[in-house]
Amino acid sequence: MKQISVIGAGQIGSRHLQSIARISSPVTIHVVDPVAQSLGVAAQRVKEIPGNNNIVSIHFHNTIKDLPSKVDFCIIATAADIRFSVMKELIEATAVEGLLLEKVLFQTEMELEQATALSTGHHVKSWVNCNKRLFPIYARLKELIPGNETITFTVKGDNWGLACNAIHFIDLVEWLTGKTITSLDTTKLDRQIHKSKRNGFIELTGTLLGKTERGDKMVLVSTQDEHPAFLLKVESGTVMLEVIEQKGELVVKAKNDEREVESMSFSPVYQSNLTHMVVENYFKTGQCELPTLEESARQHLLLVKSLNGFIHEITGKKVIRCPIT
């Protein structure tokens, strides 16, 4: 029987837990959080899921030390500012086979550089939850993009959390194109730092630009206007693809005359319906379709360096720990 652990029972961690409660093979689940209230919320959210005989037992712990000596798969869903220290404590305390880390991964260059070595040194297979790769709508988008054409990838919306969510789209662009984003341009970001909804963290608005080694362009726009529509658009030399999330619609147009060629509807994908599939696939194959820790750490390093430089420009203060989560 497999042992699964979720460390961090907050908003994201409890959704991971809800999904694991749907798993199709026998498991024992261990949930770790130092805050009793968070454990209580997590326990309540598990009760919202229909009963599953494959859940042999669920244990709620206050510390990592309470985990069994071996964990087959673990999810770390803490805030980014403590995630590296939690990962280090976990790997040194118990034998972990598979590990899924939430994003934003870590906040410092040093942590990003050390994490891969830590994982490799302890023979832990590690991935990062940039989960848009798992959405059927983006799989279809990838099929529709001509592989031999450069693209312009644009995301535009109102206050959608550019700083904390940019990594999702950096990873998505690389996955769609098979090319590496080599540069980020922060010069078009608004020269204002906003308080995040999460205490102690920040947010940014404006435009973040990126470019791949091939010349593909990424344009991420977060406005302060009251325009709730969120649009994702991919343009190549021959096609234009629009994902309209509010309508749950993908529209494909011919670039030369913008006539609609194809339209398909889709439903939103929630973490509470994803994690069990990731875990089941790992148990069957030892692999995962999400970005590896090494791959994601490289992406995060580019983002953290760029945002730290921008924050330094605005505040005049040297930034070591990028305050995003």
pLDDT above 80 for 255: no
Report the distance separating Cα 131 and Cα 285, nearest Å. 18
| Axis-axis angle for helices 109-121, 80-93 (nearest 10) | 20
Residue-wise pLDDT for 182-224, tens only, equals: 999 999 999 999 988 888 899 999 999 999 999 999 999 999 8
Read off the pLDDT of each residue in 235-254 and give the average, rounded to a whole number. 91
Residue 105, both tokens: 């991964």
pLDDT (0 to 100) of residue 227:
66
Residue-wise pLDDT for 51-88, tens only, equals: 899 999 999 999 999 999 999 999 999 999 999 999 99
Read off the pLDDT of each residue in 36-52 and give the average, rounded to a whole number. 93
- Could you give the residue range(s) of every CATH 3.40.50.720 domain in the chain? 2-130+273-291
What is the percentage of the chain residues whose pLDDT exceeds 70? Answer: 98
Tell which CATH architecture fits domain 136-268.
2-Layer Sandwich (3.30)
pLDDT (0 to 100) of residue 216:
98
Q: CATH code for 2-130+273-291?
A: 3.40.50.720
Please enumerate in sequence order all residues whose Cβ is within 8 A of that of 75, keeping only pairs 6 or more positions apart, or say none. Answer: 4, 5, 6, 7, 13, 16, 99, 100, 101, 102, 129, 275
Report the distance separating Cα 230 and Cα 71, nearest Å. 39
- Could you give the residue range(s) of every CATH 3.30.360.10 domain in the chain? 136-268
Between 182 and 229, residue with greater pLDDT: 182
Of 245-249, 255-259, 273-277, 310-314, minimum mean pLDDT range: 255-259
pLDDT (0 to 100) of residue 271:
96
Give per-residue burial for 59-77: e unless 16+ CB within 10 Å, then b. ebbeebeebeeebbbbbbb
Residue 221, both tokens: 């726009």
pLDDT (0 to 100) of residue 6:
98
What is the pTM for the complete model shown?
0.95
Residue-wise pLDDT for 82-105, tens only, equals: 999 999 999 999 999 999 999 999
State the pLDDT confidence band at 47, using cuts at 50, 70 and 90. very high
In angstroms, what CA-CA distances link 59 with 67, 69, 126, 204?
9, 15, 23, 39
Calculate the average pLDDT of the chain: 95
pLDDT (0 to 100) of residue 117:
95
